[in-house]
Amino acid sequence: MDARVSTTGRRIMGRLPKGQDLLESLTAICVREQITLGEVRAIGAVTKARLGFYDQERQVYEYLDFDQPLEIVTLMGNISLKDGRPFVHAHVTLADHQGRCFGGHLVEGAPVFACEFVVKEYRSETAFARGLDIPTGLALWPSA
């Protein structure tokens, strides 16, 4: 296990523009504000969505497409570095008009209908930089 001490930095709160991609917009905020370590939360709605599910055996992502309006019940994730740039890794739970929930890894392809977000910045003396984890095939934080 690799655990590091961090301190709290800025908190950025706001609303994303209608029609913008949810993941791209959250990433753009982190790039603009130079946030390289932190967490992100959001609520709201999207006009459609694409979610990823990692097939652990084959070590590839599979995708589910939802071509319908959905509520963002919860979105939570973290911010770190990947390939030297801020990277938002988020999971989301979405609900349809009957309250059925779907969840997974947030990927591009979810246009915002309305979205309020909170980005919390952390500061650490050493970077959390993602790299290939051979056993899982994922880009993960380093471990000891």
Residue 3's pLDDT band (cuts 50, 70, 90): confident
What is the distance between the alpha carbons of residues 95 and 105, in angstroms, rounded to a whole number?
15
Residue 144 has pLDDT above 70, yes or no: no
Q: How many domains does the chain have?
A: 1
Q: Could you tell me the residue range of the domain that residue 22 belongs to? A: 9-140
Tell whether 38 is covered by a domain: yes
pTM to 2 decimals? 0.93
What confidence score (pLDDT) does residue 127 get? Answer: 78
50: nearest Cα among 27, 71, 66: 66
Q: What is the per-residue pLDDT across 81-91, written as a single tens digit (0 to 9) for each?
A: 999 999 999 99
Residue 56 lies in a domain: yes
With cut-offs at 50, 70 and 90, classify the pLDDT of residue 6: confident
* Arithmetic mean of pLDDT over the chain: 95
User: Do residues 132 and 59 make contact, with C-beta atoms less than 8 angstroms apart?
Assistant: no
Question: Would you say 71 and 48 are in contact if contact means Cβ atoms under 8 Å apart?
Answer: no
The answer to whether residue 3 is domain-embedded is no
Confidence at residue 1, expressed as pLDDT on a 0 to 100 scale? 58
The answer to whether residue 1 sits within a structural domain is no
Which CATH number covers residue 33?
A: 3.30.1330.80
Note whether residue 87 is domain-resident: yes
For the stretch 122-132, pLDDT in tens is: 998 877 899 99
